Structure 1
C-alpha cells in the first residue's frame, strides 16, 4: 500500500510539473492588423514576424538574418543584395524591402573538402523589439528570413576612466 501511495504521489508531481511548464511556455501575442502594408510585388513574398509580449521589451533587440541555403566550400560566403527600410504611407510603420538575385561573394582560398549545404546570408539587420507591431519584409521568392532575439545583460558594468 505504501509503495502505491509513493508511485501515485510521484506520478501526480511529474504530471503537475509538466502541466505547469507547458502553461509557462504559452506566449501571449498582440492582435495585429497588417492590412495597411502593401501587397508583395510579383516574384516577391511578404514575410511577417510577430513577436510575443515580453516584460522589458526595451532590453531586447531583433537580429534579422536574410539569406538562402547554398552548396558552399570552406570559404567565407556572403549573399549579395540590398535592404532598404520603407515607410507605409499615412501610417508611419516601417517595413523592409530586400533585393537580391541570390548571387553570393566569397573569399578565394583553396578548399580540400567537398562543398556542404549552408545558410548564406546578407549582413544582418538589428532592430528594436516591439510586440505591438509586426516586422514586415518583402523578399524574393528564393530568399528566407530568420531571426534571433537578443537580450541585454541584467548587470550593468561601470566603465573605467584614466
Structure 2
C-alpha cells in the first residue's frame, strides 16, 4: 500500500515536503529555507513538509478505500436483479455487506423476530431458515419457514406490566460473509429480520 500511495502522489504531480533554500539578508542567515511556505531559521527544523506528505498519503488511501467499497456495493446491487420478488404474504429483506479483506473469518448471524406484547418472562418461538437457489444463476437465498407460536417461561412477574418488544427465534444461523452478492431473505410480513456480523479470533494451539 505504501508503494501504491507513493506512485499516486507522483502521478498527481505533488511533491510534498519540498524545501527551497533562500538567503535572508535582513538577518544575515544564508542557510535559512522555506518549507511549505514556512521559514526555517537558525537550525530549527519544521515538520511541515512531512506532515503534508503524510496527509496526502492518508487522503489517497481513503479515496481508494471508498472507491473499492462503492464498487463492491454497486456490483452487489446489480446482482439483486437476478433474485425473485416477494410472493404474496412475504417480504423480501436484502442485506448489502461492506467489502472486507478477511471475509472468510466472518459470518452473518440472521435473527428472525416478531414484535409481541410480553411480560417479564423469557419468550421465544421456533423457525427455520431454508436455503434455496435462483434458477439459472446458482445464487443462494433464504426463506423463513415453520414459524411457530410464541412460548415463554412461567415465572411470577412482580406486576402485570406488559410491553412491546422483539421476540427472537430460538435459532440464529450463521451464514457465509460475501460482499459480492446481496444476502436475500424472504419472510412472512409479520416477521422482522435483523443481522449481526461475527468475526473469528486468532487460531490457538491446544494444550
Shift of 1:138: 0.6
Q: Which residue of 2 aligns with 1:136?
A: 184
Answer 1 or 2: which has greater helix percent.
Answer: 2
Q: Which residue of 1 aligns with 2:196?
A: 148
Q: Please provide the CA RMSD for this pair.
A: 2.4
Q: Which moved more, 1:33-42 or 1:23-32?
A: 23-32
- Aligned counterparts of 2:149 and 2:104: Cα–Cα separation in 1: 36
Relative to the length of structure 1, the TM-score reads 0.75
Equivalent positions of 1:9-88 (< 5 A) are 28-29=69-70, 30=72, 31-32=75-76, 33-88=79-134
Contact kept? 1:68, 1:102, Cα under 8 Å? no
- Aligned counterparts of 1:81 and 1:148: Cα–Cα separation in 2: 18
Shift of 1:82: 2.9
Is 1:118 paired with 2:159?
A: no
Shift of 1:109: 2.0
Answer 1 or 2: higher relative contact order, Cα 8 Å, separation at least 6.
1
Shift of 1:103: 3.1
- Aligned counterparts of 2:189 and 2:179: Cα–Cα separation in 1: 26
Contact kept? 2:128, 2:147, Cα under 8 Å? no
1:85-124 per-residue CA deviation (whole Å, 9 max, x = no partner) reads 1111122211111136673111222222422332111111
Q: Secondary structure at the match of 2:69?
A: coil
- Aligned counterparts of 2:147 and 2:102: Cα–Cα separation in 1: 38
Q: Which residue of 1 aligns with 2:142?
A: 96
**Structure 1 alignment gaps of length 5 or more:** 1-15
Contact kept? 2:130, 2:142, Cα under 8 Å? yes
Higher Rg: 2
Answer 1 or 2: which has greater strand percent.
Answer: 1
**Structure 2 alignment gaps of length 5 or more:** 1-54
Shift of 1:44: 0.8
Q: Which moved more, 1:45-54 or 1:72-81?
A: 72-81
